[in-house]
Amino acid sequence: MTVQTLDDIHELAQQLRVDSIRCSTSAGSGHPTSSMSAADMMAVLMTRHLRYDWQRPDNPANDHLIFSKGHASPLLYSMFKAAGVVSDEELMTRYRRFGSRLEGHPTPILPWVDVATGSLGQGLPDGVGVALAGRYLDELPYRVWVLCGDSETAEGSIWEALDKAAFYHLRNLTAIVDVNRLGQRGPTELKWDVDAYAKRVEAFGCHAIVIDGHDLGEIDKALSHAAEAEQPTVILARTRKGRGFSDVEDREGWHGRPLPQEMAERAILELGGERHVTVTGPLPEAGTPRAWPDGEVSLPRYELGAKVPTRLAFGQAVAAVGARGNVVALDGEVDNSTHLEEFAKAHPERYFEIYIAEQHLVAAAVGLQVRGYIPFAATFAAFFTRAYDFIRMSDISQANIRLSGSHCGVEIGPDGPSQMALEDLAMMRAVHGSTILYPSDATSAAHLTAQMAERDGIVYIRTTRGAYPVLYGPDEAFPVGGSKVVRSSPDDQVTLIGAGVTLHNCLAAADQLAGDGIRARVVDLYSVKPIDTQALLEAAAATGDRIVVTEDHYPEGGLGSAVLDAFNDAGHPVHISHLAVRDLPGSGTPAELMEAAGISAGQIAQAARDLLGG
Ligand SMILES: Cc1ncc(C[n+]2csc(CCOP(=O)(O)OP(=O)(O)O)c2C)c(N)n1
């Protein structure tokens, strides 16, 4: 049947409820009541407002629909059934089953899903990123619709997102908050106080519309208003959890519980039985994204021996890579420290200031890459720890994002430990499929930055605050997964491995050892993940398995762990001498702090002597 009138839409909404119950009961898990409260809104949206070509999810003119409350996947997948792209059989037999694309929470394995959700407070921030792309880059009139839970709005990231949406005048963004009064364990903080929500939304600069989320006419009007608003709109819809089945409607204790078979049968009866309505909603008008022309990428060149911080080389290189029209950059209000300001100067129209909101920094990058852009987001490495759940989820989103963390380690000196990243390598190594680059000089930093643009997944570069000598000529190659033997001789006795500032300390240590007649091989491990296992094995073979690894990072999960894992995985376990920051640092000069941490040149040399038995 064709769904046109509000009566037809009511039928569709009941179908969405029935299917949400059927699929979760058949799976034995899922969130039917969270789906039922939002079914009326989603029925009106997909019938009259969501301009989406279901047969062509890659149509650039399509609207975007994001379920920030990803646990309402029964509702989303029931919409896919109603759109005719998922069969009733698949929904009933595959939902939440092993190997199925209909996972417990939505992921982009499904072609109609942009981003993975399920960790609450992330879908709306991601949607802001997509809306930024629509308004400022694609220059297409598509809209971004995001369904949020009311308990979800306790997440600060929701308010970071609304703040940025208002700042960037994202009138193409509509959040629909399903105010069903209940969260997981009971009532939410604000219950049905929709006026309090409205005040908060307006205080953040967005347009608030309060409606009865079960009145189809009101929903229709609100969605039309949202499309015409000058600012981002937040629809605050008062609803009832479990709406449509009296046994569970507005009752506590039914969050995340499928209905037992007998209850499901009664619920389906009360909802008017099974239906198999298919909807054809509006299609987007044809449109092509603005083309951003590509220029020539000409990387900065540095003189051997010149002292240049790797963070500066990163900034200059990313500005150069910005000659490619699809490269964009996002700053966490520290671009004069990370040197991302170089990109801002060169390409202001593809630069987004996110201010001090690191979760949003990552989420906006994820949203931008949904539309095919290549985002580089930069802040102090320490502050990415705050966005770790967003980084973790971006991996599940199969997102391609590039992160640059500056000011790593005790090397930053007087600012003290609050500004020092000493956990970032461990954190980033643990991300599935991530790439981690840690250059020691400006030339390698520039080349690795350029390669970041080419590489899929979560790509992280760790940069250093201080200025150290350029070690490599401008035409040297730095393949990801490689390393450099910076110093060697046929009769090396010990291998010193470092990256970033510790490579310079290793070189100084090798000089000291040479004074004692000891020959040290020095390896620049600029690619922490993937790691150059072959080079490590060769160095171990050449130096009798005598290896010192030194890192400006806590001992757990960093360079030393990466080296040990590589040897272990290669079936050649070794015992290394591992110098790392083992005590809580304070303030001081870089030299004082590295000495206190035991990672200075003198301490590396001593560790080498100890390995050689004297
Ligand atoms: C960051 C995060 N914290 C906790 C959870 C666990 N959780 C899943 S759903 C939920 C309650 C959500 O309530 P609400 O946003 O009101 O959505 P509703 O199901 O009521 O529509 C919670 C706490 C989660 N998924 N993500």
pLDDT digits (tens, 9 = 90+) for 130-140: 999 999 999 99
Structural Rg of the chain based on CA atoms? 27
Residue count (the chain): 614
- Give the Å distance between the CA of 122 and the centre of ligand 1: 12
- Give the Å distance between the CA of 161 and the centre of ligand 1: 18
Residue 144 bridge partners (DSSP): 64, 173
Around ligand 1, the residues with Cβ closer than 6 Å are 34, 37, 69, 71, 118-121, 149-152, 178, 180, 182-184, 188, 241, 255
Strands 233-238 and 458-462: unpaired
Closest residue CA from atom 25 of ligand 1: 119
pLDDT tens digit string along 167-197? 999 999 999 999 999 999 999 999 999 999 9
Atom of ligand 1 nearest to the CA of 178: 21
Which pair of tokens denotes residue 374? 């290549």
Is the pLDDT assigned to residue 1 strictly greater than 70?
no
pLDDT score of 35 = 99
Atom of ligand 1 nearest to the CA of 121: 1
Pick from 69, 75, 105, 393 the residue to mutate for probing ligand 1's pocket: most ligand atoms within 8 Å of its CB.
69
Atom of ligand 1 nearest to the CA of 148: 15
pLDDT score of 314 = 98
**Overall pTM surpassing 0.85 (yes/no):** yes
pLDDT tens digit string along 227-276? 899 999 999 999 999 999 999 999 999 999 999 999 999 999 999 999 99
Average pLDDT, the chain: 98
- Give the Å distance between the CA of 475 and the centre of ligand 1: 52
Q: How many CB atoms lie within 10 A of CB 336?
A: 11
pLDDT tens digit string along 320-360? 999 999 999 999 999 999 999 999 999 999 999 999 999 99
Catalytic residues: 358
- DSSP letters for 27-81: HT-S-HHHHHHHHHHHHHIIIII----TT-TT-TT--EEEESSGGGHHHHHHHHH
3-state secondary structure 160-188: HHHHHHHHCCCCCEEEEEEECCECCCCEC
Q: Which residues contact 535 (CB under 8 A, 6 or more apart)?
A: 482, 483, 485, 523
Residue type present at position 290: R
- Give the Å distance between the CA of 120 and the centre of ligand 1: 6
Residue 351 bridge partners (DSSP): 329
pLDDT tens digit string along 75-94? 999 999 999 999 999 999 99
Q: What is the mean pLDDT of residues 573-591?
A: 97
pLDDT tens digit string along 592-612? 999 999 999 999 999 999 999
Residue type present at position 438: Y
Closest residue CA from atom 20 of ligand 1: 183
Pick from 24, 117, 120 the residue to mutate for probing ligand 1's pocket: most ligand atoms within 8 Å of its CB.
120
By C-alpha distance, which of 431, 430, 440, 441 is closest to 557?
430
